[in-house]
Structure 1
């Protein structure tokens, strides 16, 4: 698993949203089962940009999903993320284990699943072509 909490894709950070960077992460993963998660911008503000990044990632990973979470201090109160897996059968929108005995304050299986339920306009725009 690689988690990349990159800055906004402007200036020098633009390279972190290019195919070469995603390929370098892919090459560092365990073949067939590796997963990446990277900052994915906000569906309310950057939908065209997100669509372009997803297209780049779909050329490298069989499973790609956009999800989001709420962050009150961010513009629009949300931030998105992309999760991609080399396992085409890995539905990253489905939690992999139960969390009931973990005494978590925020995360739950329902929160996980709901992170991938997008408004209709975003779901349509980001659907596989």
Structure 2
């Protein structure tokens, strides 16, 4: 009998993936984690019933949440990743050779251990890179208490349910602002605007109380249903969101990147928001 793993994140919507083989099904210290094989999307991970990662299309999300802010900044040396226990954002961030240190703060050690075992190509050795520092802690507490400062903060969180909910609060964003360097960039995972509009509205509203420039950018990831995925954007440097394609192309070439989704043209186009998304961030 066919076994289907169903996601019911959005009210009134049921999204199912046929599981050819359940690889892992158990609870970590913080959440229910399921890993299974799918014919088109490869190995899939869900947390508390919500798809987080598939090996077929994870490159879209991880490239867009990392390379866009790093190349926009242009001089980043220290980066903080909140969440990201699968190691994909860490993998992409460490491709920037000029970085001195990348700190990954993940609340659930079990996610890191299981992803290292079942998704080794996603992290691709990133956890063993000498520039990587792994901190097992609550991200909200970390940004509120650390005496370190970061040029770019990447919030690679789950949706605002369960342990990820606190990463969508004004208090957390204020903590991020506190430990950013002058002109630093904060980017966040902000869901699918068509399905989760209030999530994006709330984040950008909080950003605008803290930063001179607050907006969002978009990218389409097949397994995140309902339209393009949004990424929150916040910085005090008004120029960074408006850099030309030529500037980004030069930085991209100098970084020696080889990407499947992200490129300089996609970078600049990602900030071109449809009317309904503009309405959400201006609400």
Sort the TM-score into its range (normalised by shorter chain): 0.7 to 0.9
User: Pick from 171, 176, 194: which aligns with 1:20?
Assistant: 171
CA offset at residue 12 of structure 1?
2.7
- The answer to whether the aligner puts 1:105 opposite 2:260 as a matched pair is yes
Q: What is the CA deviation profile of residues 15-64 of structure 1, one whole-angstrom value per residue up to 9, with x for unaligned ones?
A: 10111111111111113x11111111111111122112110111011111
**Is the alpha carbon distance of 1:51 and 1:121 closer, same or farther for their aligned partners in structure 2, counting shifts above 3 Å?**
same
Count residues with an aligned counterpart.
Answer: 126
Corresponding residue for residue 239 of structure 2 = 90
Give, in angstroms, the shift of residue 13 of structure 1: 1.6
Aligned Cα RMSD in Å?
2.0
User: Given the alignment of the two structures, is residue 116 of structure 1 paired with residue 271 of structure 2, yes or no?
Assistant: yes
Q: Look up the SS of the partner of 2:181 in the other structure.
A: coil
Give distance in 2, aligned partners of 1:77 and 1:125. Answer: 15
Under a length normalisation based on structure 2, what TM-score does the superposition of the two structures give? 0.41
The answer to whether the 8 Å contact 2:218/2:228 transfers is yes
- Does the 8 Å contact 1:69/1:78 carry over to 2? yes
Pair 1:63 & 2:195 matched: no
Shift of 1:100: 5.0
8 Å Cα contact 2:200/2:280 also seen in 1? no
Q: For the residues of structure 1 that align with 2:197 and 2:271, how far apart are their CA atoms?
A: 15
Distance 2:269 2:278 in 1: 13
Residues in 2 aligned to 1:79 and 1:122: alpha-carbon distance in whole angstroms: 11
Distance in 2 of aligned mates of 1:46 and 1:106: 23
Higher relative contact order (CA 8 A, sep 6+): 1
1:77 positional shift: 4.9
Check conservation: 1:43, 1:50, Cα contact below 8 A: yes
Give me the TM-score of the superposition, normalised by structure 1. 0.84
The CA deviation at 1:114 is 1.4
State the SS of the aligned residue for 2:239: coil
The structure in which a higher percent of residues are strand is 2
The residue number in structure 2 matching 1:72 is 222
Contact 1:65 1:93 in 2 (8 A): no
Deviates more, 1:116-125 or 1:90-99: 90-99
